[in-house]
Structure 1
Amino acid sequence: MKVFNNIDVNPTDMNLYITAVTHSSYTNENPNYPDYERLEFLGDAVLEIVISDYLYKERKYEEGLMTKMRASYVCEEACATYAKEMGLDEDIKVGSGEEVNQTILADVFEAFVAAVYLDHGFDFVKKFVLDIIVKYIDRGENFLHDYKSTLQELVQTVKKSVTYEVIDEEGPSHNKTFTSIVKIDGIVMGKGTAGSKKASEQEAARDALSKRSEIN
């Protein structure tokens, strides 16, 4: 795997890492290769505890800010960024006709974190994760653009209501795209498409904010 040329990890159980980069669409065509979904589940939890531990011990922030920062540094956009930085995108196995998108990149990063944890233990994976992420924290990088909260605050100032609705779902179950609209006082003001319902709502809110003069 090319990724090992870019990171300080010596694999002892290569099968873990191969599984971590194997999408379910590839597994459907090659049943001998298990997909990364179970590893992703574990990696998500490992990532959260590593970041939570770091923020609690090293940054001394109040709880509300720590919660927002953790959400930013473990969100889909952040994890996809880490995956690209490592070069994981070059190793991902997908089925024919499948494209590697941001959601898959993020999932693979979480699965890879789980593989490192299972292969080398918690102390090692903690250093591995922090070596990647701390520089983004030091720079004050904000991956989580909460357009919904910004729109909600704007709408409250003019005493209007805001609602979201998923209007379309496309694609196979393992790689769906969702399209959502946002209504302000019942009028459609924004539309967005993304790989999850929450992300599509954020995109719809961002679209609405681009027309903020029409909201006031």
Structure 2
Amino acid sequence: MMTHILLVEDEVKLAQFIELELSGEGYQVKVVHDGLGGLQAAREQSPDLLIVDWMLPGISGLEVCRRLRTTGDAVPIILLTATDEISDRVAGLDAGADDYVVKPFRIEDLLARIKAHLPTNPQQDPNILQFEDLKLNRYSREVSRGDRKIELTATEFDLLEYFLLHPRQVLTRDRILEAVWGYDFMGDSNIIEVYIRYLRIKLEAHNHKRLLHTVRGAGYVLRA
């Protein structure tokens, strides 16, 4: 499973740059542009690490740190700030931040800080598959998006599991049929379209964004 980093930064261009660099390093990145949204995402998505700017709309990054620590959340937090005053460093650490990076910074420095605060050998449960806010438990056969539970049939579950095992890969119809329905399946090949539609209806309820996409002439892919 990919390491999930939550980035809370209101400067759009800077956020895009950091997201691009971190994605290139193999991290799964979620970007939020305001303090309250970042606090909510941190509580709902349980990221492996949080990067938060000090000055944010809504509530400050400092307050995000305080509220997370008050509830016992021990997620590593790297605070981004435009000032390098000792008093600010002390305030950030007192609020619960684990590290402090001053703008402007070299991306190599931020990457080094990230690696320093992530577990070297994280204990990952192979029965838990996750992509964005979508989570599937292979053992209990439970599926959720955020805090919303999703009821799936056995075939819908197997199909979604296959996509989660191959995120961002374009899967052909033949591969899907063989993996989910079996190599000797003799039914209607349109069965894939039918079940993709079923999954989309359930996954996209309550205005959730689409994760299962059609690639014309090629197949289907799970991607943001």
TM norm. shorter chain > 0.5 = no
TM-score computed with the length of structure 2 as normaliser: 0.28
TM-score computed with the length of structure 1 as normaliser: 0.28
User: Relative CO higher for 1 or 2, CA cutoff 8 Å, sep ≥ 6?
Assistant: 1
Determine which structure has the larger strand proportion and give its number: 2
Determine which structure has the larger helix proportion and give its number: 1
